Amino acid sequence: MENIVNEIKKIKDVEVKENENLSQYLNFKIGGNARVFCSVTTEKALIKLLRLLNLNETEYYIIGNGTNILCSDLGYSGVVIKLGNRFIGSKIKGKKVFANAGEQLMELNKKCANSGLMGLELTYGIPASVGGAIRMNAGAFGQNVADSVSYVRFFNGKKVVKLKKEKLDFNYRHSLFTDHPEYVILSCCFKLLKGDKETIIQNMNDVLKKRAKNQPYDKPSAGSVFKRDEKFIVSKCIDELGLKGYSIQDAQVSTKHAGFIVNNGQATCKNVVDLIQYVQKQVYESYGFVPQLEIELMGDFDDIAR
């Protein structure tokens, strides 16, 4: 890894840190250190870095807002890549919206609303970057990001390619990119619809109020822990089992929304995983299915019995 670090330092527009604590970059405020942490400010530098890492078969993990990630207490033994400020930004041309991967979804919503464009407004309040939202096909209130995607530009490990929506295998909290973590989203194009600006803004404000009322925005979390089940509303099952407020150390099933686990201050990854496994066991024993994770696990989990 020392040789890799020396090579990375030669790449312009890449800032390198070693043994950087990851909890400060993740919404959950949980996680150990990254062996190598890179802040990348340009697309050219990112592609050079990725080619170097692929050539040397070095594991890497890219983070945007870090909103749906649970990181191991042992950290990450590879290279963590954080997209810098130049990956933020978007342009609107008519009904088409061109957004960089690092653009904040909430900011993009505001820009679209001010231009009288609708199609993403129900995702307002999701604290994700555009790249992360596309990767997980983020959504809420019956609207998914994929509904409005026209195409996505990404680096496939060898070159930059552009694929239309139909070839991106979008499904519930799933896309081509969840199956291929080596594919790195660079930018995308949304195709939206014209609408009334004031109505769009009102809808966005209503969505935000619902989120603030029903979700634990006041505490660190990684968002909704479990995926939706075909037959059951998972959060309702957890609620019916009386597990709201159930804690293991500082990891707690939210008292506001049973689908969330919050960090009450000093929760570790092991606390959260133990709590997840406890909830899964209780749900299975009562309802006959095991809730599947929506959050992503990052790093080395050898310290946790899974």
pTM of the predicted protein model? 0.90
Which has the closest alpha carbon to 14: 77, 86, 65?
A: 86
What ranges in the chain are assigned the alpha helix state H? 2-8, 43-55, 105-114, 130-135, 176-179, 197-214, 234-240, 269-287
Instruction: Kindly state the DSSP code that residue 215 receives in the 8-state scheme.
Output: S
Catalytic residue positions, numbered: 173, 224, 294
For residues 55 and 304, what is the distance between their CA atoms, to the nearest angstrom?
31
pLDDT by residue for the chain (306 residues), tens only, comes to: 999 999 999 999 999 999 999 999 999 999 999 999 999 999 999 999 999 999 999 999 999 889 999 999 999 999 999 998 889 999 999 999 999 999 999 999 999 999 999 999 999 999 999 999 999 999 989 999 999 999 999 999 999 999 999 999 999 999 999 999 899 999 999 999 999 999 999 999 999 999 989 999 899 999 999 998 889 999 999 999 999 999 999 999 999 999 999 999 999 999 999 999 999 999 999 999 999 999 999 998 875 544
**Spatial distance between the Cα atoms of 54 and 157, rounded to a whole number of angstroms:** 7
Task: Enter the tokens of residue 37.
Answer: 């942490």
Burial 193-220 (b: 16+ CB within 10 A, else e): eebeeeebbebbeebeeebeeebbeebb
Q: Which of 205, 207, 152, 209 is nearest to 183 (CA)?
A: 152
Residue 295 tokens read as 């959050």
Residue 158's DSSP bridge partners are none
Q: Which residues pair with 20 in a beta bridge?
A: 34
